Structure 1
Amino acid sequence: MTETTQLKQLQAEWITAESFKPYGQLITPSEDGKHYDQTDAQLNLEKGTPRFYIMRLSKRGRKFNRITRHNQCTQCLGSLEGKDWFIAVAPPSDSPQPDLEQLRAFHIPGNCFIKLEVGTWHAGPYFDHEVVDFYNLELSDTNIIDHFTHNFRASDNLDFEIVVA
């Protein structure tokens, strides 16, 4: 007999620098001429060639059953055109799967970007728009040699949906 997949809802919270700290950094606008400090993205791209590109995604919705991490670099994501979006994250760990108790969803406005810490589990970007272009900074081979995915449906018969209040 096949088990039925359970849909678990994750309440999205508006991102703040403090709430996102276990997963990475929230980077917001700063005045031109500001000197480099801890509020700037603290990048780790030393294990390869950085790749900065625009990633076009279509009709993503807010449901997922897989989550990924990159153990060799930080990753920066942000939307263009001021479009809001969502991401689900769990803190970095040595485990082959994220801690379900620490899985959180964030609602990200289109006037900032996030830097994911090395090893942060992430599902997304997700959004309600038809199409969103994202700038993405990672290594040139991140999606080839540094892409570890956990499938919640296969391991726990779980799908997730990011919901807003």
Structure 2
Amino acid sequence: MNTSQTVEQLQAKWITPENFQLYGQVIFPSDDGKAFDLEDAQLNLKNGTPRFYIMRLQKRGRKFHKITRHVQCTQCLGSLEGKDWLIAVCPPHNDLHEPVLAEIAAFRIPGNCFIKLNEGTWHAGPYFDHEFVDFYNLELADTNVVDHFTYDFLKNHQLEIEMV
């Protein structure tokens, strides 16, 4: 049995609304009083009680081997204090129960915006180079209990991915 592990490097690109549209939305500041439009987060929180909270994450490097998705709701993530961060994503392909490895992309997200992940978008992160980052997170109250599907590249492909 071959138990050797491979580390694949994934180049992180600076996020834009255009290069992120397969996975969700990028939301930048807008003037107060602006009418709701397609530049605002298009949310799906209808399948439960919304939960908006601040989570503190400690630095854990840039490597991952697990990727997760939520199919019942959208999820919004943004850092506090203007700190930049990284996330890896893969389009939903809701008919498949695993991400398509060739379609995984990594993004660097500046601290002046947040992202909204579409339902079913696979994601690994947030990752960052700071000692810790506080993130605001909008999802459902029970998302991590009843709507949390994880795929393990290490277990299934002896693969770890590193965002560079």
CA distance in structure 2 between the aligned counterparts of 1:78 and 1:141, rounded to whole angstroms: 20
CA distance in structure 1 between the aligned counterparts of 2:22 and 2:35, rounded to whole angstroms: 25
2:163 paired residue number: 162
Query: Which ranges of structure 2 fall in alignment gaps of 5 or more residues?
Result: none
Q: Does 1:153 align with 2:144?
A: no
- 1:59, distance to aligned residue in structure 2 (A): 1.3
CA distance in structure 2 between the aligned counterparts of 1:125 and 1:72, rounded to whole angstroms: 20
CA distance in structure 2 between the aligned counterparts of 1:55 and 1:102, rounded to whole angstroms: 28
- 1:60, distance to aligned residue in structure 2 (A): 2.1
3-state SS in 2 of match to 1:57: strand
1:88 paired residue number: 88
CA distance in structure 2 between the aligned counterparts of 1:99 and 1:153, rounded to whole angstroms: 15
- 1:3, distance to aligned residue in structure 2 (A): 2.0
Aligned residues: 163
- Residues 5-154 of structure 1 mapped to structure 2, 5 A cutoff: 5-93=5-93, 94-154=95-155
- 1:37, distance to aligned residue in structure 2 (A): 0.2
Provide runs of 4+ in structure 1 moved above 6 Å. none
CA distance in structure 1 between the aligned counterparts of 2:48 and 2:60, rounded to whole angstroms: 29
3-state SS in 2 of match to 1:132: strand
2:3 paired residue number: 3
* Percent of residue pairs identical: 67
- 1:80, distance to aligned residue in structure 2 (A): 0.2
3-state SS in 1 of match to 2:83: strand
Query: Which ranges of structure 1 fall in alignment gaps of 5 or more residues?
Result: none
- TM-score, normalising length: structure 1: 0.97
- 1:96, distance to aligned residue in structure 2 (A): 1.1
- 1:26, distance to aligned residue in structure 2 (A): 0.3
Please, which moves more after superposition, 55-64 or 8-17? 55-64
